[in-house]
Amino acid sequence: SITFSGTRHEVVMEFCGPEAVAAGEELIEQLPDHEFALPNQLVADATISKVDHRFGAMERLEVTCVLLLLEDG
């Protein structure tokens, strides 16, 4: 059997204001197909695990991403 060595990372990003929220929405859309370039790492999985979108005078979007990195080489 094959054994892999790697790490799981959870990243929480907050986007405040209409322009930033639009950028956060673009991140959500593009993350699954994004090609990562990390030295000595392979991104085995990149997912959005949580989204909290709040409207109002100060629109805000909080996005939680989970990345599974495997050692490459």
pLDDT per position as a tens digit, 6-28: 999 999 999 999 999 999 999 99
Asked whether residue 64 carries a pLDDT value surpassing 80, the answer given is yes
Whether residue 71 is predicted with pLDDT greater than 80 in this model: the reply is: yes
Query: Could you tell me the pTM of the whole model?
Result: 0.84
Quick one: average pLDDT of 41-62? Answer: 94
Beta bridge mates, 30? none
Place of tokens 């599974």: 68
| Whether residue 1 has pLDDT greater than 70 | no
Contact 9, 69 (CB under 8 A): yes
Q: What is the dihedral of CA 16, 27, 29, 47, to 10 degrees?
A: -110
